Structure 1
């Protein structure tokens, strides 16, 4: 899925503050006072300084004052004032003002949502070399917002932004080349862009690159690289990556990636406690067979039951098989642990508990599937 157009205004101000250093020699008016005050969170002084500069027609002062009104920093939030000031600054060629003006039209802030007007201002910023503007133009072409859907144009603008290191543009290029959108499908090129975005910190790109290395799509199969990219995504908190990393360790082999049940247990635990039914099921397998840990039938039964509650159909058969090996005391212990776990989960994630179901009745006993990658 492509990344939506979402930016944090405070981050945009930081970007501007960094870029201002290149042009400060041209600013005879005391905009330095406002910039320094803002950095020190003295917003009253910053507001007064930027207001003075804006009244004098100073483009950067207009932009900074607009940004303070836009986000309600040091003053009451006022979208209409922000839009007017962005407009004045944008007409003087301040690229970030052009982009932010497009953003306000895009979101319908202080004005009725207008994709055509948003596209116009994004285009101004893009033509001036703004990677955020180029990304926004690419995204609007992709989704047909403000103009007809045009994958070729989307691809072109994503490439412009990606060459400047824009992470989400790099990721979206990977998606487009993977699916043949705007260009002929090319898995090798897709992997190149995913890898660039992954190295830039995109968890989605890290996951996709890992899948491609694990399955040998667009490249030779390389479980070590797959592990490395899954680890990056897993450490950033991506639940699916945590599960897949557990699968990779549980199904390893001596020639490519050594099997490591301790690591599998660690990563399955991480995702299982966040509601991943596959990880919950394989935790049941690990505890029921003592793989990398001590045999623990009550714990195994608990995870099988929880996995079923979260939608993993095969768990009920594994659970019924396990019941035949457990005594009443172990079964009671398992049910008590499961109740405690579900209670704690409901406190942490109250809305997601609606998707769970009741504990299953007995089902026909069938063998559990082997631990193999389910990427």
Structure 2
């Protein structure tokens, strides 16, 4: 290539540059490679321009320089190179070597996409999906993802699966979702493997098959996918699609928990508390509950409150029990709301406060907790913490009674004796109104 290169033939100059870059037939020399690439690039050779952009991108023989990367990609893109057009789209989208500009990114992606460049098609689909640089348009997003997916682009196939599963811009279609996820899963993508495992487990878009679910959870879990590890642990714990094995369950839960998967942390807390397949270990249970409680999980916060209240796995500490119950209660956990109300009512770990007790009983009662409903009925009937109110006492007693609380039935009948017909009618109206609200009518 040396002679034609020296005679000014651009293709030969590009090839000679490539030989110097990779040390093919000559000693590797990036400076010589750059020299020959530039000669060809200045003549408009797009391959040389692309090669120069890569030289500057990776800093081969020169300092990394995204300005130069942009410059040479722009030269090639203007001449119609789909690769360069895609590269420009990426640089505009992420602000590499040029100011971030989603509109320009969309324009360059589209030029490359129209030439059949699959990555550009996927990226353009992403911009349409998120309304970046273009108006949000799920139909266009699906169109471009499908173009790329049909060329085997795994990212596009995964995105299509999401569109069909979630019914974004298209009718929800689990069969189509499964079809596209499976294509990606078979190529080793852990997220796709997780998705088809879930679909096998719940029979979405495919016949329910626990063994297949385990198979795909295992594939994703072996690649370190934390949700798959947790779900695989659950399958082992419950003997779904595989022989029940608590040790394997713990192994997978721990792998998942070490990556911060909150459900796995919670599952470990439960499995040690209940002693499933292992000795009951409240210390270990407390350890795992604490980790997930610190991350804000209401269920774990409630369980931590219980462990502090009863001294399980830690020293008994009513003040800390109240603190953790409150964290969970504020997130809407009914059991925590009930327990917090009890702590306030009896002044356990906190100053006795009937007003606060009523407040938290009411929170739990509104969510249908019958113990809280009964306690509210008792407090309204006796005037503890609230003004005596037979109508509200009857309402809550009536609701708890209807859900099987025998004590509530007796209380309701006792309160009824002290009420007028109008008061009873009002209490019954309030009960019915609450029932309708709970059922969403």
TM-score tier by shorter-chain length is 0.7 to 0.9
| Cα distance in 2 between the residues matched to 1:242 and 1:173 | 24
How far has the Cα of 1:195 moved from its partner? Answer: 2.1
Give the aligned length. 321
Moved more, 163-172 or 83-92: 83-92
How far has the Cα of 1:301 moved from its partner? Answer: 5.0
- The match for 1:29 among 101, 112, 119 is 119
How far has the Cα of 1:245 moved from its partner? Answer: 1.4
* Structure whose alpha-carbon radius of gyration is higher: 2
1:273 and 2:366 correspond: yes
Question: Residues 51 and 149 from structure 1, CA distance in 2 versus in 1: closer, same or farther, beyond 3 angstroms?
Answer: same
Counterpart of 1:72 in structure 2 is 167
Counterpart of 1:240 in structure 2 is 335
User: Over aligned residues, Cα RMSD in angstroms?
Assistant: 2.7
1:43 and 2:138 correspond: yes
**Cα deviation digits, residues 40-92 of structure 1 (max 9, x gap):** 24212211221222222221112112222333323344434333322221233
The answer for unaligned runs of 5 or more in structure 1 is 1-20, 22-26, 352-375
| Cα distance in 1 between the residues matched to 2:176 and 2:332 | 39
1:179 and 2:179 correspond: no
Q: 2:395, 2:427 within 8 Å by CA — same for their partners in 1?
A: yes
The answer for unaligned runs of 5 or more in structure 2 is 1-93, 95-116
**Aligned ranges 1:148-163 → 2 under 5 Å:** 148-163=243-258
Question: Residues 63 and 317 from structure 1, CA distance in 2 versus in 1: closer, same or farther, beyond 3 angstroms?
Answer: closer
Query: TM-score, normalization: structure 1?
Result: 0.77
Q: Which has the higher helix share?
A: 2
Counterpart of 1:102 in structure 2 is 197
Query: TM-score, normalization: structure 2?
Result: 0.66
| Cα distance in 1 between the residues matched to 2:272 and 2:339 | 24
1:294 and 2:368 correspond: no
Moved more, 56-65 or 144-153: 56-65
**Aligned ranges 1:1-375 → 2 under 5 Å:** 29-30=119-120, 31-40=122-131, 41-253=136-348, 256-297=349-390, 299-300=392-393, 302-316=395-409, 318=411, 326=418, 330-332=419-421, 334-350=423-439
| Cα distance in 2 between the residues matched to 1:46 and 1:333 | 61
**Cα deviation digits, residues 260-279 of structure 1 (max 9, x gap):** 11100111122223333322
| Aligned-partner SS, 2:224 | coil
Moved more, 268-277 or 293-302: 293-302
Q: 1:299, 1:334 within 8 Å by CA — same for their partners in 2?
A: no
Question: Residues 308 and 64 from structure 1, CA distance in 2 versus in 1: closer, same or farther, beyond 3 angstroms?
Answer: closer
